Structure 1
């Protein structure tokens, strides 16, 4: 059976996104250079503008792609929110660039809400609210707050600044994951 070959446009978009990831993670939006990432992709600056409308559009597309992919790798499970936090922690450890891109977005584009990510968040909050109404999750926190707390706990270890990392450096990877699961369990009153 012949292999599927994506259309050239899809392949070029994917190649540009891959090159952009390294460039944006290392330099942020302001420090990234379109010429550098286009060269790394074996392309040119015009292609970035053609496919993404410019550097900001490429950054936004990359962030949506990476966060969506990360969340798809650990689908929300309101029946086991602590277990979901552990799986989300695993994704954060496997893909450290995702948090770095999100941090750059918060720093450099704080007023830009990306529609696809907003929609995904709204859906997740609604799912948490349904679980709260069904008695599966406690109602001590509003749904959006509970979801935010769980997400931040899941990313706790990968977001530690260097100044705080030293004192906990001896905590092993499996124990770090367990701390996340236990912290969310405590948050839920388990």
Structure 2
């Protein structure tokens, strides 16, 4: 029976997403990825050349999916923050891989510079690099993205400090509402 190379490649990529998101680049093992994928280890090298090539493919896949599914909407930063929170909650590997990328291999992965440059320019008013609310547009976008991820990277003790289950649908909905409102407040144009 002939091999289905696309299916094999997909199984390897799926297994690598889980391995790299759990262990990072340094801790990930090709042997484990091969075993989980049900593939010969040699096929990883055929499709991806080496461990770094596989990590790059994983980052391009996961972060590319995030960029495509949650585009920055400069005219609705509160909505963007809510959608980003929803995506990260549904796809925890996306946040973990983004963090591992920053820690271990910041130069690998999709080049989103053009996307961010266009969004920052769209957020900038006629006076230079300031958003109409008076904050530098780049800083505002960094704050919004950080706020969207903050619940997922905060200590469990802090998240449960109010006595509620931080993973319950009700608590997550309350936090999402607070996130959207906070972003609305920091992104609303200031009045002269």
2:72 aligned counterpart, secondary structure: coil
In the alignment, which residue of structure 1 is the partner of 2:146?
A: 152
In the alignment, which residue of structure 2 is the partner of 1:133?
A: 125
1:124 aligned counterpart, secondary structure: helix
Alignment partners' CA distance in 2, 1:97 and 1:179: 24
In the superposition, relative to structure 1, how do residues 49 and 97 fare at CA in structure 2: closer, same or farther (>3 Å)?
same
Q: Following TM superposition, by how much is the alpha carbon of 1:41 offset from its aligned partner in structure 2, in angstroms?
A: 0.8
CA contact (8 A) 1:85 1:180 kept: yes
Alignment partners' CA distance in 2, 1:32 and 1:66: 17
In the alignment, which residue of structure 1 is the partner of 2:76?
A: 80
In the alignment, which residue of structure 2 is the partner of 1:123?
A: 115
Alignment partners' CA distance in 2, 1:151 and 1:169: 27
1:55-104 per-residue CA deviation (whole Å, 9 max, x = no partner) reads: 12111211121111122222221121111111111001111111111122
CA contact (8 A) 1:88 1:154 kept: yes
Alignment partners' CA distance in 2, 1:141 and 1:126: 17
- Deviation >4 Å, runs of 4+: none
Q: Following TM superposition, by how much is the alpha carbon of 1:148 offset from its aligned partner in structure 2, in angstroms?
A: 1.3
Alignment partners' CA distance in 1, 2:115 and 2:89: 25
Q: Does 1:28 align with 2:27?
A: no
- Structure 2 stretches lacking a partner, 5+ long: none
Alignment partners' CA distance in 2, 1:27 and 1:169: 31
Q: CA RMSD in A?
A: 2.3
State the TM-score, normalizing by the size of structure 2: 0.82
Aligned pairs for 1:50-89 within 5 A? 50-89=46-85
Q: Following TM superposition, by how much is the alpha carbon of 1:155 offset from its aligned partner in structure 2, in angstroms?
A: 1.0
Q: Does 1:166 align with 2:190?
A: no
Candidates 91, 97, 119, aligned match of 2:93: 97
How many residue pairs end up in the alignment?
179
Greater helix proportion: 1
In the superposition, relative to structure 1, how do residues 53 and 140 fare at CA in structure 2: closer, same or farther (>3 Å)?
farther
State the TM-score, normalizing by the size of structure 1: 0.83
- Structure 1 stretches lacking a partner, 5+ long: 1-6
